[in-house]
Amino acid sequence: MKKALKILGIVILTVIILLIVAPFVFETQLKEVVKKTMNKNLNAQVDFEDIDLSMFRSFPQATLVIENLSIINNEPFKGDTLALTEEVTLEMSIKELFKSSDEQKVIDRLSLNNAYINIKVDSLGKANYDIALEDTTTSGSDGQPFKLDLKHYEINNSRVKYDDKSTKVFLDVEDLNHEGNGDFSLDQSELKTYSEALVSLNYDGVNYLNQNLISLDAVFQIDLEKMRYTFLENEARVNQLPLTFDGYVQVNEENTEMDLSFKTPSSDFKNFLAVIPEIYAKNIENVDTKGDFVVNGRIFGKADDLYIPKMDIKITSNNASFKYPDLPKSVQDINLDMVVLNDTGLAEETYININNATFRIDQDSFTANGNISNITENMLVDLALKGTINLANLSEAYPLEMEQDLNGILTADVKTSFDMNSIEKEQYQNVKSSGTASIKNFSYLSPEIPNEVKIATANMSFNQGNVSIPNLKLTTGQTDLTAAGSLQNLIGFLFTDQALKGNFQVQSNKFSVNDFMVAETEEITTTDDNGKEKTVAKTTGKEAIKIPSFLDMELKFNANTVIYDNLELKNATGVLVIRDETARLQDISTNIFNGSIGANGMVSTKNPTPVFEMDLNLNSLDIASSFNGLELMQNLAPLASALEGKIQSTVNLKGNLNEDFTPQLATIAGNALAEILTAEINPEKAALLAKLDSELNFINFEDIDLSKLKTKLTFSDGMVQIAPFDFNIKDIKFQVSGSHGFDMTMDYDLKLDVPAKYLGSEVGGALGKLSGESIANMSVQLPIWITGNFNSPHVKLNMQQAVNNLTQKVVAKQSKDLEDKAVDAINDILQGKRDPKKPFSKNDSTAVNTQKKDSTSAQTPTKRDSINKSQQKQVEDAAKNILGGILKSTKKKTDTTKQN
């Protein structure tokens, strides 16, 4: 017995060792087998990251896990992803591992986790999933290396997209979870399945489902030989609406044949509430309902390239009502009679009849009827709406999840008839609309806007495709508006993605731009009590102005007062054209800063960073007021803070805007031509002028005259370049040029021509001695270099250049005087007025030397040069002393008329 147990123990141990070792032995072979088999049989690029083989995961079966499998299409869909899956799990008998790659394999269980299937069909009917290579074998296992003998399969947390250009069908199935149990090895079997997913369906541009929760718990009878699938037991749910099915689907070589009937298992009106997406229809099990709601339909016939299945679907409700237990009001007198029909199998001959749709809340009732036909081609719409709705009652009767409250009375009696081609081509003459609509005492409040929007009254008159609005009165915050005009394409805006077009005359007593600052939001994903993720918009605390993308408007406006930030603009008029997220300003004029501004330009919020371009005419603006009110003025002309007076200017500029529509100064580029009309200066208000006033003691800024001063500015990259300009302080001439930055750094050159008479009698005497006569008409040039910043300037006199300028002037004056005297002496001799033998006077000695040099002496030039160099050195030294005296002298203590 002990020996038998020992042998059994050895056998078990051996088996365990084999089970542990087997994966390492077979994994390499399996990788080769799987990759070779897939690429051999598929016209696509198949790859995966790794294969894991386990003998214990589902013992006694072997478990094969393929990680990160990808299938990429070849032509004609080259590069497109057909399938990606994070994990493919296959369970099979261990003996299947010992078969060669050319032998049949039987897979018992298959699961796909986190898969993405992307199916495409082009306009010619070619499908990207048609990647199986043609079987060139005639018999045996070589032509069928895999045989699916599934008992169970499942797809978890996956997504399937189906985009068929040939039939104009787009299906997007998200959060797909599907499983099935059956025996695919049999020609006839039963397959028990359960599926749930969020389904979106678009057919020929019409959205029929939008992430609707659909589930199906069904048992199918499968006939693989005839490819026929029959519903046995089933229950489906669309959102929370239950449906049961009977019938079959049979797949033939040239078409698909079906005959399916479906209906609601009960006639309770809760079925209607269940059609509404769950997010909007919570806790319907507690709703008190009366009346019925029945869906009863049949889809039958063949589907191929030409035909779709015929259909006959009826949706009815009679004298129904519902009331939520936590809400004060109920919805009553609900009647619905709606039919979806197609009795030819041609898709374009599907039509919807709304024979009657009515409801009532309190005393307010609303009725709609009409029909929609030719759905897949040029859809024809014929609708009539009539009734009154108190908007506040909607949230008191139905649990709408809205971040804002609605109030107001909407009244409508409108009929409209149109075809979609005319709407899309904007051929509104083909639209037949008539009737009136109005809204009174409307109010709208949202956390995204700072103030409640109130519409006292708005009347609309429908005529063809045009909607006339003769009277609209709106207030919000400080803003009041009265408007009259028309909308050209309200139907196109409501039924397509067209921008809303219109023309309006707008009057306003006060218009505050701040009232239209939109609170910025960001998407935040949260998890509710049931563990489901929910994405909501939350304000960021920032505000921005956003030009709506859906507007195409021309507004002629007249506003008595416009408030923008801290500015008040008076008597604003002009034209505002809003189109393509861009606002264009045409012939704008307004009064501000005791003057006026004219403007033409544009502002665009189409890109993440708003941009602007503007041409401005500033006329007779008060300098001090505009400097204090405009940041741009403070950066373009910082010294304007010391000026009192009037200015006019033309400004051309462009750049980026902040979210509140103030300019990003570092991005501004443009130019300006400015003229000061009248101005008085106060040096104490500007550090630079105060510095110059203390450094240049011979200047009194009270004597400055800036009237008619003109200058040109160019600016870009945060720098302002000043073109050279001149002005005078009495008869002292100033020339200014240079640049400064928006960061208040500066680099300026000043050139002063100072008459010698302002330099004092001592300086004047020195110049007189150097020049040999009065210096009344002589001036001293003083170059000054200004750096630092406007709050802490550095003033530096270019002494060497000043000395050179003064020396050159004196020497030139001396040379000119000497030449004049020599010429006079020679003329006197020639005219006999002077005896040539008579000695020259002391003052004529230079002239004699000059005369001798010109006539005979070869040695004289060298002597004369040495004399001139000595004289020039004397002049240069004197110039330095003079200029030093200028800067060291005490302001206004030097009497220029009495000193010797």
Residues 261 and 129 in one domain: no
Between residues 111 and 183, the one the model is more confident about: 111
Angle ∠(725,612,654) on CA atoms, nearest 5: 25
For residue range 187-224, list pLDDT tens digits in order: 788 888 899 999 888 876 667 777 888 898 988 888 87
For residue 832, is pLDDT > 80? Answer: no
Angle ∠(596,597,598) on CA atoms, nearest 5: 130
Between residues 85 and 9, the one the model is more confident about: 85
Is 499 inside a domain boundary? no
For residue 533, is pLDDT > 70? Answer: no
pLDDT of residue 578: 85
For residue 803, is pLDDT > 60? Answer: yes
Between residues 736 and 845, the one the model is more confident about: 736
| pLDDT winner (highest mean) among 46-60, 317-331, 447-461 | 317-331
Q: How many CB atoms lie within 10 A of CB 95?
A: 9
**Eight-state DSSP code of residue 292:** B
Reading the block at residue 47, the tokens are: 């790859």
Closest by Cα among 31, 40, 93, 116 to 65: 31
pLDDT-based confidence at residue 227 (cuts at 50, 70, 90): confident
Residues 244 and 365 in one domain: yes
pLDDT of residue 146: 47
For residue 764, is pLDDT > 60? Answer: no
What are residue 311's DSSP bridge partners?
A: 299, 342
pLDDT of residue 142: 45
Q: How far is CA 135 from the centre of its chain?
A: 54
Is 713 inside a domain boundary? no
Coil, helix or strand for 706?
coil
Reading the block at residue 778, the tokens are: 């002589």
Cα(294)–Cα(274) distance, rounded to whole angstroms?
A: 12
What are residue 485's DSSP bridge partners?
A: 469, 504
pLDDT of residue 11: 37
Residues 105 and 239 in one domain: no
Residues 108 and 238 in one domain: no
For residue 342, is pLDDT > 50? Answer: yes
Is 113 inside a domain boundary? yes
Closest by Cα among 43, 18, 36, 33 to 64: 33
b/e code 761-794 from CB counts within 10 Å (16+ = b): bebbebbbebbeeebeebbbbbbbebebbbeebe
pLDDT of residue 692: 77
pLDDT of residue 360: 92
Question: What's the mean pLDDT in 14-42?
Answer: 55
Domains of the chain: total: 3
Reading the block at residue 615, the tokens are: 């041409």
Residues 235 and 128 in one domain: no
Handedness of CA 146, 148, 149, 151 (dihedral sign): positive
Coil, helix or strand for 893?
coil
CB neighbours of 519 closer than 8 A, spacing ≥ 6?
A: 447, 448, 449, 450, 539, 540, 541, 542, 543
Could you say which of 401, 430, 446 is where a domain stops?
401
pLDDT of residue 282: 60
What Å distances lie between residue 675 and 422, 554, 618, 624, 646, CA to CA? 56, 35, 10, 15, 9
Cα(63)–Cα(88) distance, rounded to whole angstroms?
A: 10
Mean pLDDT is lowest, of 234-248, 340-354, 665-679, 828-842, for: 828-842
pLDDT of residue 453: 83
Is 189 inside a domain boundary? no
Burial of 467 (0-12, 13-18, 19+ CB in 10 A): buried
For residue range 866-885, list pLDDT tens digits in order: 445 555 565 566 556 555 55
For residue range 358-379, list pLDDT tens digits in order: 999 988 899 999 998 887 778 8
Question: What's the mean pLDDT in 660-675?
Answer: 83
For residue range 483-524, list pLDDT tens digits in order: 999 888 777 777 777 888 889 999 999 988 777 666 555 556
Residues 869 and 773 in one domain: yes
For residue 845, is pLDDT > 60? Answer: no
pLDDT of residue 341: 92
**Eight-state DSSP code of residue 657:** B
For residue 545, is pLDDT > 50? Answer: yes
Strand-pair category, 611-622 with 595-604: antiparallel
Is 824 inside a domain boundary? yes
Closest by Cα among 536, 532, 537 to 175: 532
Cα(872)–Cα(882) distance, rounded to whole angstroms?
A: 15
Could you say which of 401, 430, 452 is where a domain stops?
401
- The residue segments making up the domain with residue 276 are 225-401
Q: Which helix H or strand E contains 154, and what residues bound it?
A: strand 146-164
Cα(650)–Cα(587) distance, rounded to whole angstroms?
A: 14
Cα(803)–Cα(874) distance, rounded to whole angstroms?
A: 12
pLDDT-based confidence at residue 259 (cuts at 50, 70, 90): very high
Could you say which of 401, 418, 447 is where a domain stops?
401
Residue 268 and residue 317 in contact, taking contact as beta carbons nearer than 8 Å: no
Percent of the chain whose pLDDT exceeds 70: 70
Between residues 780 and 206, the one the model is more confident about: 780
Q: Which helix H or strand E contains 880, and what residues bound it?
A: helix 860-888
pLDDT-based confidence at residue 356 (cuts at 50, 70, 90): very high
Is 416 inside a domain boundary? no
pLDDT of residue 333: 93
Residues 273 and 375 in one domain: yes
Is 822 inside a domain boundary? yes
Residues 766 and 834 in one domain: yes
pLDDT-based confidence at residue 10 (cuts at 50, 70, 90): very low
pLDDT-based confidence at residue 445 (cuts at 50, 70, 90): confident
Mean pLDDT of the chain: 76
For residue 385, is pLDDT > 50? Answer: yes
Reading the block at residue 569, the tokens are: 């603009």
For residue 679, is pLDDT > 60? Answer: yes
Residues 147 and 294 in one domain: no
Q: Specify the residue for token string 């110059």.
A: 692
Between residues 365 and 804, the one the model is more confident about: 365
Cα(667)–Cα(657) distance, rounded to whole angstroms?
A: 9
Cα(697)–Cα(138) distance, rounded to whole angstroms?
A: 114
For residue range 598-636, list pLDDT tens digits in order: 989 888 888 888 888 889 898 988 887 887 777 777 787
Q: How many CB atoms lie within 10 A of CB 348?
A: 16
Between residues 730 and 462, the one the model is more confident about: 462
pLDDT of residue 866: 46
Residues 272 and 151 in one domain: no
Between residues 1 and 340, the one the model is more confident about: 340
For residue range 57-90, list pLDDT tens digits in order: 665 677 778 888 888 888 888 888 888 888 888 7
Residue 94 and residue 30 in contact, taking contact as beta carbons nearer than 8 Å: no
Is 723 inside a domain boundary? no
Residues 880 and 796 in one domain: yes
Residue 91 and residue 61 in contact, taking contact as beta carbons nearer than 8 Å: yes
- What are phi and psi for residue 583, nearest 5 degrees? -110, 120
For residue 594, is pLDDT > 90? Answer: no
**Eight-state DSSP code of residue 598:** E
List, in sequence order, the alpha helices (H) in 758-859. Answer: 761-771, 799-830, 845-855
Cα(544)–Cα(521) distance, rounded to whole angstroms?
A: 10
Question: What's the mean pLDDT in 699-722?
Answer: 80
Residues 93 and 161 in one domain: yes
For residue range 687-701, list pLDDT tens digits in order: 777 777 777 776 777
CA Rg, the chain, in Å?
Answer: 47
Cα(682)–Cα(627) distance, rounded to whole angstroms?
A: 14
Residue 258 and residue 248 in contact, taking contact as beta carbons nearer than 8 Å: yes
